[in-house]
Amino acid sequence: MGLFPIPAAAQSGSIQGQVTDAATGRALASAQVSVRGTGIGGLTNADGRFLLLNVPAGEQTVELLLLGYASQQQTVVVRSGETIVTQFRLSASALELDEIIVTGTAGGTQRRAIGNVVTAVNSDEVLSRSPIASVDQLIAQRTPGLVMLPGTGQVGTGTAPVIRGVASVTQGNDPIIYIDGVRMDSDPRRGPGQRGGANINRLNDIHPADIESIEIIKGPAAATLYGTEASNGVIQIITKRGRTGAPQFDLTARVGTNWLWDPAGRVGLRYMPDPDRPGELVGLNVYENEEQTGLGPIFQNGLTQSYNLSMRGGTDAVRYFGAISRDNDVGVVDWNWNKRFAVRANVEALLTQSLTVNINSSFISTQTRLAQGSIDTDPFSNLIWSNPRTLVDGSGRRGWRAAPPEEWSKVEDRGDSDRTTTSVELRFQPVEWSSHRLVAGIDNNNELAFTVLPQQPEGAAHFYGQRALGEKEVSRGTRRFLTLDYSGSANRTWGDYTFTPSVGFQYYKTESSFITAEGTQFPAIPVTTISGGAVRTGDETFAEEAMVGFYVQQQVGWNNRAFLTGAVRMDSHSAFGSEIDAAYYPKLSGTWVVSEEDFWSFDFISQFRLRGAWGAAGRQPGTFAASRLYAPTIGFGDNPALTPDSYGNPELQPERGEELELGFDASFFDDRLSLEFTRFDRATKDAIINRPLPPSSGFTGSQLVNIGRIDAWGNEVAVNARLVQGPRFSWDLDTQFATARNRIADLGDLETIFAGTQSQHREGYSVADIFMLRVLEAEIDASGAVVRALCDGGTGPQGVDPGGAPVPCSEAPQVWLGRSQPTWQLGVGNTFTLFGNLRLYARVEGNGGHIQNNTEIRATHNQSTTEAVLLRNNPLVQVYRSLENDRMGVYEAGFLRLREVSLSYDLPAGLAGRIGADRGMVSVGMRNLAMLWTAEEGWDTPRSGLVTEKIAGMHVWDPEVRATGANSVGYQTVLPPTASVTMTLRLSF
């Protein structure tokens, strides 16, 4: 939030000062300083200094806010023409009730007045202690209830955020994301298709160093004012702003490397019958074989680089922030890389005493090459499914699945993007008690994704067969998000009460336009254009949707410590069925700072606040889900015709999320320890379900209908503490823990929906739970043939709970094995500070309570390269191979990982001055150093994270791996997270 001095009054003076940490004496930058009731304010510079001009003469109250510290006020007497010098020494505070939060209303709201929990992540604070390279790393696991579903170890890809678990079966679970008030394209699944769904995350286009803070608004109770698309939560990204004073330059340089832990040890052996010794097996570790034969390691240490230069400063009337950055990261194979160039310019101008304009603009260009495009060319697939037979069969594959390593990079998978985001914000305050905000903006993303394999000299005799004749697939298009957002608020006080009515209007429009083309069978090696293909196909899609929404809200406050807020929002959306006019979402919340009451007598509890909120928000159906659609085809006489495609539903309406949230915030021992607790109960009503169509409809497939209900509940706890505080040593602890569960309460006239071969959406169970046959007894003969197999006959109301009597497996049901989604998450960080300038930081993260299905194991058995399959002496393996192959890859997926370790050193002023800087910091940080615990192996898990599934002893490379979809239950050949070490230098001039 930008604050500007008012023009010079006839009798005015100035206030200057410095803000420092009370315990260490360290200067505190970006603290918000303001003069109460005047609109005059600013931010401290890198040295913690500030200067406020044109302050009216007389007694004034100077207020200071900084995330992570207790707010402070000082009363000073300003004399005309003079400068008052003051000093603020801030004490760290684990609970900040006066912090301003972006809520959707004009001007933001103090945390103390908000009845729901909102988590704020300060970017500079995290970057100063953690080796962060992307936005998803910046917010991952630092917020209770926010889980980042892991993607892949490839550079350029990202993770998908899910807030408070799964809320929908068919409509996705991604939150909506704003940057400087504008809806942004944050799809985590862009770019060319990759094994395991590991794609490019558009959220990571933004450079973390350009971000001031990120606010996470969880669930329908908190997101009512955001309307129909907000039931999965909202993430607000606020970029940096200028501040009064001379230009300050900040340079950040990051250089590091990333690698894959112990690939040879984790892949293990693949087997085949020994041709010289009947009945014996011979094993091959293809990775070790390549090294031993002098062909070198397959995976490398990839070089990562990032450089960011920013400038901020300004005058009384105009402030500015500008940044330019360049990133060049290379993965564990040299043809996996990600390059980013970004420019940002933010300008704030005081046009009149009551009118401020903020203009925020950025251009981001990214080029990404990925390495896991297909099963034949993916290094990891070739490694996982290596086969000793291909070492001796004369094919030249040298033990690899499809082709040797020198062939993999001949296929180029690219995902490029040029992105422009611009917003204009007008803030108008005609009188002290009334404020208005208007935001207009656009997020425009031009994308190019392509996969190309040039013609190979061997033609179809090449390892890739017909593909080697040459092929290219291109997708080129634009995704555009338009935002128009007005909000207005008034604030009036009568006695002990304040009344704050608010109104708002929002208009959002999304456009998506793509042209795809494919060409195959190129005539010559140099030809790689679509037009050069002997066979060519093409397609074009265009989708547009729009939403308009209104809200009214009334907040009543009492003595600035008790607040009651009621609101209602009305939305209309183009994706609603033709018979649905609008959706309405109410909200009611309350909060009470009990510790500020006169009767409060618990001295060891510094602050205590009760809060509660109930509210609703929605999730709209897909753009054309409500419409009846026909597809083009070739009809009689080769004439163009139409054929039924999608039945549509004129009564289709948004899913409706209703949530009750209760909790408290407390701080203890002079604000040195804080505890935040939240309990939420959510119901997704009118859940959109795919219901099969009757043949009489004339359409095949299914119809989307509002017949379901999904209940969810959980608890969230955050603890922050300064355990030791002193000038020479301090110890800070931050802990986040959350649970989240869900239950399908209703599927209408459908008892079960099969979401895959193992996962089911079934009434009474969680979304996408895993159901499989459970073998209880198995017997094989000397040849390995199954002679007897008994399975769990199931129990419970639906006969699918485990624990039933043994029955022949041919008569047994698939019984419940476990949940596919994590039910708990944990993050624990410790910061140790020595002498005020040396910091050691370590963070452990994990989640669990779920199982996953590693289908690599099934496929490895199917290609007959495992001991169990070749020896035919494991009864369970023999039975499951004949019944349900995937059961052999199921494992407990819980884990705890040493996620981050860093050592940071603030350069002495003299040393920084020698290189022309005012201050500097150097740090060394490491990520994914060690797996500490896994649910499958316990505390004996190797550092690499390797676990062994129980049935046949096959390796699972890393239990954190999963496909990026929120409802995913299994994965195949997803490159696991890589380890990294990074050195960072930060200088301010």
pLDDT one-digit tens code per residue, 456-485: 999 999 999 999 999 999 999 999 999 999
pLDDT at 427 over 90: yes
Chain centre to alpha carbon of residue 152:
13
- CA 189 – CA 174 distance, rounded (Å): 11
Distances (CA, A) of 404 to 295, 409, 463, 680: 11, 10, 9, 52
Q: Write out pLDDT tens, residues 350-408.
A: 998 899 999 999 999 999 999 988 888 889 889 999 999 999 999 999 999 999 999 99
The pLDDT, as a whole number, for residue 103 is 61
**Contact status, residue 583 vs residue 549, Cβ threshold 8 Å:** no
pLDDT of residue 752: 85
pLDDT for 645: 86
pLDDT score at 964: 62
Lowest mean pLDDT among 500-504, 629-633, 716-720, 877-881: 629-633
Out of 514-528, 561-575, 642-656, pick the least confident.
642-656
H or E element, residue 223 = helix 219-223
Pairing of strands 851-854, 970-971: parallel
User: Residue 105's pLDDT is what?
Assistant: 61
User: What number of CA atoms fall less than 13 Å from residue 787's CA on the CB side?
Assistant: 7
Query: Residues near 137 by Cβ (< 8 Å), separated by ≥ 6?
Result: 130, 208, 927
Distance CA 80, CA 169 (A): 66
- Tell me the sheet residues that pair with 672: none
pLDDT for residue 476: 95
Q: How far apart are CA 236 and CA 181, in angstroms?
A: 8
CA distance 571 to 586: 12
**Which H or E run includes 760?**
strand 759-762
Query: What confidence score (pLDDT) does residue 102 get?
Result: 67
By C-alpha distance, which of 212, 231, 529, 189 is closest to 344? 212
Which CATH number is 1-91 given? 2.60.40.1120
Task: Label residue 966 by pLDDT band (50, 70, 90).
Answer: low
What is the structure's pLDDT at 141?
Answer: 78
pLDDT at residue 746 is higher than 70: yes
**Domain range summary for the chain, segments of one domain joined by +:** 1-91, 776-817
Residue 759, CA distances (Å) to 767, 819, 911 in order: 9, 9, 60
If phi > 0 it is left, if psi is from -120 to 50 it is alpha, else beta; for residue 261 that is: beta
pLDDT-based confidence at residue 949 (cuts at 50, 70, 90): confident
Task: Indicate whether 2 pLDDT > 50.
Answer: no
Cα–Cα dist 794/796, whole Å? 7
CB 835 within 8 A of CB 865: no
706: its two tokens: 């509002």
Instruction: Inform me whether the pLDDT recorded for 8 exceeds 50.
Output: no
The residue to which tokens 């459970």 are assigned:
774
pLDDT at 192: 77
Name the helix (H) or strand (E) containing 263.
Answer: helix 263-267
Give CA–CA dist 153/723, Å, rounded: 36
Identify the three-state secondary structure at position 373. Answer: coil
Average pLDDT score over residue span 577-597:
93
pLDDT digit string, tens, across residues 844-898: 999 999 999 888 888 888 899 999 999 999 999 999 998 888 888 899 999 999 9
Kindly state the average pLDDT of the residues 154-160: 87
pLDDT band at 31 (very low <50, low <70, confident <90, very high): confident
State the chain's mean pLDDT as an integer: 90
Residues 6+ apart with CB under 8 A from 910: none
- Which whole number is the average pLDDT over 81-107? 76
More confident residue, 81 or 256: 256
Reported as a single tens digit per residue, the pLDDT across 624-648 is 888 888 888 888 888 888 888 888 8
Report residue 9's pLDDT band, with 50, 70 and 90 as the boundaries.
very low
pTM recorded for the entire structure: 0.89
Res 755: pLDDT: 75
Asked whether 435 and 107 are in contact (CB, 8 A), the reply is yes
Report the pLDDT averaged over residues 937-947. 89
Q: Is 195 a residue whose pLDDT tops 80?
A: no
Place of tokens 């209880």: 776
Question: For residue 211, what pLDDT band results from cuts at 50, 70 and 90?
Answer: very high
How far is it, in rounded angstroms, from Cα 571 to Cα 228?
6
Which residue bears the tokens 């023409």? 81
